[in-house]
Amino acid sequence: MGLPFIVLNYKTYLQGTGQGAVEIAKACKAVSEDSGIEIAVAPQLPDIYRVASEVELPVFSQHLDGIGAGSFTGHVFGKSIKDAGAVGTLINHSEKRLTLAEIEASLKAAKKFGLRSVICTNNVPTTAAAAALGPDYVAIEPPELIGSGIPVSKADPEVVSGSVEAVAKINSQVKVLCGAGISKGEDLRAALDLGSQGVLLASGIVKAADPKAALEDLIRLV
């Protein structure tokens, strides 16, 4: 078991908007350099270029549409976020739910533009379905725990271990992240002990008074 992969989703939290997006990214870079743990950030679309230009760390989009060049007003085009400096994307986050066909199309677009892909899921069956599509990662997140501060690794460990088992049977190349309520070192430790290879988190870090200190606590038991 190597070091975990951590994805910090800024969502549309004020603290992670505009220059705040850069400041949190700097904190993530510092902790990543000190620990050797890969930490990616997912700012809002307009902040991707700003963060990627100012801070050397993996930047992910919060969403990607399965469209190409042309008349797709208001959509997220893979080449646009790639050229802005993104190296990956979330797909199907519970706050940006897609149909199965849309998920497949978004994943196809991610692969076309060489973007690392994290398909977000809400239970074991949807995790198994997502793994069958062949993303780089799935991220299992029970929606009812998102933003609750109640870590999935304690509140619903079976959904994590069950997702790990399901993915291993379907496509062992797909890595499993988990999320929802993760904020402390013991939450990440529990998630890793359940077989996940990292976490997707947001409020515990982005809304923290000191995001760098919160990140240092998060990784202290790795």
Asked if residue 172 belongs to a known ligand binding site, the reply is no
> Using CA atoms, how far apart are residues 170 and 165, in angstroms rounded to an integer?
9
Active-site residue 141, yes or no?
Answer: yes
Residue 122 known to bind ligand: no
Nearest-approach distance from CB 120 to ligand G3H, in angstroms: 7
Crossing angle of the two packed helices 124-133 and 100-112, in degrees rounded to 10: 40
Shortest spacing between CB 70 and ligand G3H, in angstroms? 30
Q: How far apart are CA 201 and CA 141, in angstroms?
A: 10
Is 93 noted as a catalytic residue in this protein? Answer: yes
Chain-centroid distance, C-alpha 182: 12
Which residues have CB under 8 Å from 200's CB, separation 6+? 7, 9, 90, 118, 120, 139, 141, 177, 178, 179, 182
Residues of this chain that bind ligand G3H (CB under 6 A): 9, 93, 141, 146-147, 179-182, 200-204
Which of 60/170 has CB closer to ligand G3H?
60
Residue closer to ligand G3H (CB basis): 16 or 66:
16
Q: Of residues 102, 141, 165, 186, which has the active-site annotation?
A: 141
CA distance 46 to 186: 34
Nearest to 122 by CA among 159, 169, 155: 159
Nearer of residues 97 and 112 to ligand G3H, judged by Cβ = 97
CB of 68 to ligand G3H, least distance (A): 27
Active-site position among 93, 95, 102, 216: 93
67 vs 150 by CB, closer to ligand G3H = 150
Reduced to 3 states (helix: H, G, I; strand: E, B; else coil), residue 203 is: helix
- For the annotated binding site for substrate, the residues are 9-11, 146, 181, 202-203
- For the annotated binding site, the residues are 9-11, 146, 181, 202-203
